[in-house]
Chains A and B, each alone.
Chain A
Amino acid sequence: MKAIMDSFETHSSNIAGIQPHPFWVMVRKEIAGHIRSWRFIVLLLLIVLTFWGATSVAMSNIREVVSKASDADDLFLYLKILTTTEGTLPPFHVFLNFLGPLLGISLGFDAINSEQQNGTLTRIMAQPVYRDNLLLSKFVSSLILVGALLITLVLLMIGGGIIITGVLIEAEEVLRILSFTIICMVYVGFWLWLSILLSICFKQASTSALTAIGIWLFFTVFYQIIINLVAKAFAPGANELSPIEILHYNGLILNLLRLAPSQLYTDATTTLLMPSVRSLGPVTMEQMAGAIPSPLPFKESLMIVWPQVSGLIAATVMCFALSYYLFMRREIRS
């Protein structure tokens, strides 16, 4: 921790004399504040433990999985390390499905209202800085931390994998793992903006934290249950429907489920980490006819998840726009 702080300080003394933009001054202060906070240390431990647990389970099973692989083409060792599980512990990307929101919420839920409570918001806003710079600096600083954390973990995993197995990583795996990391960041970014938005809406940090956790719980637990219930109640019996209609209903339910950001994230990461996934919806026999049972190239996987990624980015931008709208013309009173 001390070393990180020192590196910040030496960095800033290197560029002494040059006047940094107020935005980067704010980002630097935010990052310093996060790194020193207990909250971040707890989160760091949580994520590192999860990663270590998931990867070590995968590592112990990797021999079995590799020996089962029928085709050499099918073997993506490092993707397997990320996705293999024996059933006791879910793989890392599934873990991140619910740890990511926690990360985003806990880094952002008190972004604005705690400053308001402490009386620092008025002081900062009385300085010649633009208001959106404050919002953006909160977001960018947290995202830099999350990004650094995830990239470090993934690089550690690759490095450890090379040492343990002695198998060199392929370029496609690097691309897939990198884009997986980026999607994770987008996913965390969405929850981060959502919690910043809530921190603007609510004066009390605890209210905004609770609301954010409520939204997260709703989407992870209740949303699917509700959609399934509604679908059961409204869908006519399976016997009365033609296959085309069943397909149509299935698509509708899947699309409704995709309104939840966690579903988008799951779709996107599964496709990227498992090259054999070729479609996210039901596939008819006609469509399967002529398909070669081999892993998809990286570009094709990316094409499949592109709508999901755009959806996540769109939701993030929406939260940003809303918080911008709420914050820009608001009265700043302590």
Chain B
Amino acid sequence: MDNQIIKLRSLTKCYGSFRAVNELDLTINKGEIFGLLGPNGAGKTTTILMMMGLTEPTYGTAHVCGFNATKDPISVKRHVGYMPDSVGFYDNMTALENLMYIGELNGIPLSEVEGRALDAMRTVGLVGDVVHKKAAAYSRGMKQRLGLAEVLIKQPKVIILDEPTLGIDPSGVREFLSLIFQLSREKGLTVLLSSHHLYQVQQVCDRVGIFVKGELLVEGNLNTLSDRVFAEKSYEVQVTLQNEVDLPWIDEQEILQWESVQKASVEGHVIEISSSKDVTPDIVRFFVEKGYDVTGVQKKEYGLEEIYQKYFESNLMENISQ
């Protein structure tokens, strides 16, 4: 398929006996925003380095834009913009000079390079005097923006961002991510971003993959992920009551006898009921009929946080038990 712009086939990287990336198969389609999610040391950066041809896989192949990243890294680099997790610039040059240098390395003719650099900086919101400031005077957030401008100046087909939100403040993160989202939609760019901040990834990604200890555990959009992960307890309803419930809860046995209900737990004002089907209306009716004063009913939906937590917890447990 032409649509697949990144194809990884049983990509593996070993450092000695340690497998940083293990038999990774991943396909990313054109125009997609893919979030690679995982804890520190999961092998995200190593995977990205292999895609850029900055390190060699032990075995397996990485095809980006139709080029083999190991054998033909130059062609890959011509079409892919990469922003590393810690962007650094030449401190003795101004931001514009830094950007023009990268532009020239990409073979942009000298007559055009300044205009294109200024364009790229405008796109990421760097305008006015800051353009001619030394890169050393830039704040972390501005450096990140400059890094994105540098990625854009070569007019790439694919953008790979390694931990793009690392070390910027929350409002900066939101702005940055919406900028990435907007760019991807406007220019039809494929974006691969790695992060360990789930909320941020949740905001912009079409698809995410959870990557733990060198293996891609699950991938898909948020709905398919939560379906797959929480197959055994897909719905959870939280009922908040005005009065505290006495323990043991007298009606617990009755509600547990319902076919779909799996578990009910009581804690102060709150009763939590898990079920395999969506039985929220029945539960509300039940509580009303029993004469409880219901102040709130909340159907819990599984976000990335829970999914992530689940994997990381199990990962943590394994680590401890080892």
Among the stretches B87-95, B198-206, B221-229, B292-300, the one at the interface with A is B87-95
The listed residue with most B CB atoms (<10 A of its CB), out of A22, A123, A129, is: A123
Please tell me which one of the listed residues A17, A25, A118 contacts residue B91 in the complex, with CB atoms under 8 A apart: A118
Q: Which residues of A contact B92 (CB under 8 A)?
A: 33, 36-37
Q: A118 to B84: give the CA distance in the assembly, Å.
A: 12
- B105 close to A25 (CB less than 8 A): yes
Is B238 at the interface (CB under 8 A from chain A)? no
- B84 close to A122 (CB less than 8 A): yes
- B106 close to A127 (CB less than 8 A): yes
Known contacts A17-B110, A125-B54; A120/B88 CB under 8 A: yes
B35 to chain A, nearest CB (A): 20
Known contacts A126-B84, A127-B77, A331-B55; A20/B89 CB under 8 A: no
Number of residue pairs spanning A and B whose beta carbons lie under 8 angstroms apart: 94
Known contacts A36-B92, A128-B78, A332-B49; A123/B110 CB under 8 A: no
- B56 close to A329 (CB less than 8 A): yes
- B45 close to A333 (CB less than 8 A): yes
Is A4 at the interface (CB under 8 A from chain B)? no
Kindly report which residue of chain A lies nearest to residue B80, judged by CB atoms: A126
Is A250 at the interface (CB under 8 A from chain B)? no
B41 to chain A, nearest CB (A): 13
Q: A29 to B98: give the CA distance in the assembly, Å.
A: 10
Q: Which of A28-85 contact B (CB under 8 A)?
A: 29, 33, 36-37
Is A188 at the interface (CB under 8 A from chain B)? no
Chain A: interface residue count, which band?
20 to 34
Q: Which of A11-26 contact B (CB under 8 A)?
A: 12-13, 15-20, 22, 25-26
Known contacts A125-B54, A333-B45; A119/B104 CB under 8 A: no
Known contacts A119-B84, A126-B52, A128-B74; A17/B109 CB under 8 A: yes
Q: A25 to B100: give the CA distance in the assembly, Å.
A: 10
Please tell me which one of the listed residues B82, B89, B101, B107 contacts residue A19 in the complex, with CB atoms under 8 A apart: B107
Is A334 at the interface (CB under 8 A from chain B)? yes
Q: Which residues of B contact A119 (CB under 8 A)?
A: 84, 86-88
The listed residue with most B CB atoms (<10 A of its CB), out of A36, A37, A127, A329, is: A127
Q: Which of A76-125 contact B (CB under 8 A)?
A: 118-120, 122-125
Is A325 at the interface (CB under 8 A from chain B)? no
Please tell me which one of the listed residues A20, A29, A36, A129 contacts residue B110 in the complex, with CB atoms under 8 A apart: A20
Is A8 at the interface (CB under 8 A from chain B)? no
- A128 close to B107 (CB less than 8 A): yes
Is B278 at the interface (CB under 8 A from chain A)? no
In the complex, 29 of the A-B residue pairs with CB atoms within 8 angstroms, ordered by the A residue number, are A17-B111, A19-B110, A20-B110, A22-B104, A22-B107, A29-B90, A33-B92, A36-B92, A118-B89, A120-B88, A120-B89, A120-B90, A122-B82, A123-B82, A124-B105, A126-B52, A126-B77, A126-B80, A126-B84, A127-B106, A127-B154, A128-B75, A128-B106, A129-B105, A331-B54, A331-B55, A332-B54, A333-B45, A333-B49
- Where the two chains meet, the residues of B that have a C-beta atom closer than 8 Å to any C-beta of A are 45, 49, 52, 54-56, 74-75, 77-78, 80-82, 84-93, 101-102, 104-111, 147, 150, 154
